Amino acid sequence: MVFSSISFIFYFLPLVLLAYFITPKRFRNIVLLTGSIFFYAFGEPIYVLLLVFSSVIDYIHGLMIEKHRGTKKAKTALISSIIINVSLLAFFKYADFMIINLNDWFDLGLKTLNLRLPIGISFYTFQTMSYTIDVYRGKASVQRNLLKLSTYVTLFPQLIAGPIVRYKDIESQLDDTGISYDNFAYGIKRFITGLAKKVLIANSLGQLSVLASGTQAPSVLFYWMGAIAFALQIYFDFSGYSDMAIGLGRMFNFKFLENFNYPYVAKSITEFWRRWHISLGTWFREYVYYPLGGNRTGKLRWFGNILVVWFLTGFWHGANWNFIIWGLFFGLILVFEKLFLKKLLDKTPAAINHIYVVFTVVISFVIFKNETLADIALNFRGMFGGLDIPFISAEALYYLKSNAILLIAAVIGATPLAKNLYGKLKETKFRKFTSAAAPATAAVLFILATGYIVDSSFNPFLYFRF
């Protein structure tokens, strides 16, 4: 079940909200847990057992760490928790990748397992690991109530596509099951914003990207149009889903941390990754980069730590070489920025820096999108004039004109321009108008998005594969 579906918006969510509001405060976590289990089982009737297993395993390990705190047994419990979680992720997500590559390298003839990837396993595995690690470090209190820990692990707003919510960030909120009407109102507005980004913009950009990839009349312009459309699509797709998750969390009085902060306005790739998928970057920084030594080592090891983190970041996104290349691509650029490039960027006009960031990111998402090296090479050749195709074709111009409004809206929407303008209007004599326009705009966006969902069969979500 996806957030941008009729079954979720008009059936599941209203029923869970109603049950939550009419249930006495002390039983509301039971409502959330039951609803979340049903939500996951709706799409994963078998793998829901894996989700329950993860919750119980890390609950037990948390208790063991607390019981034996300060001893080798606590460290053993932590290592056991990490091994079990990583093994589950590795088995379901990477087993076939390893088998295929071993067959290619050593001609072993091993049969692939053809396992279907459990939805959201990359997200909830990282969350459960953050719990046991933070309990071991003393940054989070052990949760002695299995119901509450299971509610955290399975919480449906962030279960299948993030943001990656660390236990320590919502630890106290699991006990605060009250109802805040301000939070609820904000949650509705935030959910609708995300729904509109996902359905009206990301899905439309996705159709343009697919069209550009499958055209029978390729041109350099068409290749670039497809690359730019995909780079914008994945931003609106994932940031829209994060908005919906944050909004849903607020409806139930949970405050999830922001996951995107207008990354396309960044002036360096270092800044871009402080703004893009913030929860993933924070997780790798706290649980991988710092334990490796971070930048508190010699330069060679420091740069090695960066490359290790970005190898893992790429591999986290998918069991394919293109994701590894994508991760290492960013790792190398970040190393270059640390070595010399950032100093040059600091002396360069902001407009040039923005062009550098956008160009680099668009190039990176060509790698991200295409699974084979041959397809990556073909797209780069098409974009940079390496194929025997025209620079501009009549078909490319037609679709560029047809989608001009969409592309302009997407570019503007990827910046804080509209948000800043709204904020300034609220401080002027037009504040009464803006106060009235906000709910009206939300209502119109909701109607348009719902109509799109009903009318269109094209409603993919890119991050489900992760």
Residues taking part in catalysis: 317
Cβ-proximal residues to 462 (8 Å cutoff; 6+ apart), any chain: 233, 234, 237, 238
Q: Find out whether 229 and 204 touch, Cβ atoms under 8 Å.
A: no
Contact 425, 434 (CB under 8 A): yes
Place of tokens 């069991």: 319
At residue 230, what are phi and psi to the nearest 5 degrees? -70, -40
Between CA 160 and CA 464 the distance in angstroms is 7
The rounded distance, in Å, linking the Cα atoms of 245 and 262 is 17
| In contact, 54 and 153? CB cutoff 8 Å | yes
Max Cα distance, the chain (Å): 74
Alpha-carbon gap, residue 297 to 135, rounded angstroms = 26
Residues in the chain: 466
Burial of 354 (0-12, 13-18, 19+ CB in 10 A): middle
Q: 154 and 33 in contact (C-beta within 8 Å)?
A: yes
**What gap in Å lies between CA 361 and CA 242, rounded to an integer?**
20
In one-letter notation, the amino acid at residue 7 is: S
CA–CA distances in Å: residue 95 to residues 92, 116, 220, 354, 459 = 6, 11, 38, 39, 29
Three-class secondary structure of residue 451 per DSSP: helix
Q: Is 401 exposed, middle or buried (0-12, 13-18, 19+ CB in 10 A)?
A: exposed
Helix, strand or coil, per DSSP, at residue 114:
coil
Q: How many CB atoms lie within 10 A of CB 130?
A: 23
